[in-house]
Amino acid sequence: MRLGEKPKLIDENGRRIDGRLPDELRPIRMEVGVLKNADGSAYVEYGNTKVIVAVYGPREIHPKHLTLPDRAIIRCRYHMTSFSTTERKSPAPTRREIELSKVIREALEGVIFTELYPRTSIDIFIEVLQADGGTRTAGITAASLALADAGIPMKDLVAGVAVGKVDGVLVLDINEVEDEYSEVDLPVAMMPSFKEITLLQMNGVLTEDEFWEALKLAEKGIMKIYEVQRETLMSRYSKVRAEVEE
């Protein structure tokens, strides 16, 4: 492949650049309770994308004028570490990080029973340690786990994944190379138990049939991610129970 030339993203056997089939997720790893000083925390890997999240709260709000009398406020910061990409990134928050902080907050706040904690804040800090595509959806998945680890009541967990269109083919859980050369990027987050979407964005153009097919593909991936979330939480609290009973 020549410098600047687009790589072949789908081979003659229908395999993607990393060997996956179009409907396959990358290897997923999850862990909760990874940060001692946070009320809740989680670590999530989607392939080479690695994200850690800390949750603090519900706690007293500073500054006080932000207080709401009937519910907690959700504050979210999405941040990519300087070493998360191949080129060193400035530690200062970028416009994209500020936008994604808002997007992720909106994807999560409707799931949390904020009315149980008036006059408080719940603060979510998302750090992307390594970026290889799908950082916002991995961040949402990890934030949901960290909220559950903090014991904050929610309607359901939230899981996210991105669908792309590369070389004319819809593919699940796109990596960085696929994202760079994709014709479409469609990040989706959902409450799996209710099949209710909390995040839906699209960059690119799909036909109506392709859109519904992409949404179905995202749902398939989200249900698999949800199972890993549940298993991770059950494993964590089985250990806690065993420790208490000893």
pLDDT digits (tens), the chain, 246 positions: 455 567 888 999 999 999 999 999 999 999 999 999 999 999 999 999 999 999 999 999 988 888 999 999 999 999 999 888 777 767 778 899 999 999 999 999 999 999 999 999 999 999 999 999 999 999 999 999 999 999 999 999 999 999 999 999 999 999 999 999 999 999 999 999 999 999 999 999 999 999 999 999 999 999 999 999 999 999 988 777 777 766
Place of tokens 């056997």: 13
The domains of the chain are located at: 28-245
Phi-psi region of 211 (alpha: psi -120 to 50; beta: other; left: phi over 0): alpha
What's the pLDDT score for residue 206? 96
Structure tokens at 181: 């050369």
Residue type at position 152: I
The closest of 35, 32, 99, 110 to 74, measured between CA atoms, is 110
First to last CA, the chain: 60
pLDDT at residue 4 in the model: 57
pLDDT the model gives residue 246: 66
* C-alpha–C-alpha distance, residues 234 and 245, integer Å: 16
Residue 85 is predicted with a pLDDT of: 78
User: Is the domain covering 28-245 a CATH 3.30.230.70 domain?
Assistant: yes
Cα atoms in the Cβ-side hemisphere of radius 13 Å centred on 76: 25
Spatial contact of 30 and 41, defined as CB atoms under 8 Å apart: no
Q: How many Å is the Cα radius of gyration of the chain?
A: 19
Distances 197 to 167, 174, 226 between C-alpha atoms, Å: 27, 19, 14
Per-residue pLDDT at 50: 98
> What is the DSSP code string of 115-159?
GGSTTEEEEEEEEEEE-SS-HHHHHHHHHHHHHHHTT--BSS--E
The DSSP secondary structure of 101-125, one letter per residue, reads HHHHHHHHHTTB-GGGSTTEEEEEE
Strand order in the sheet with 120-130: 28-32, 40-46, 49-60, 120-130, 73-80
Q: Where are the alpha helices (DSSP H) in the chain?
A: 95-109, 135-149, 176-181, 208-245
8 Å CB contact between 9 and 17: yes
pLDDT value for 6: 76
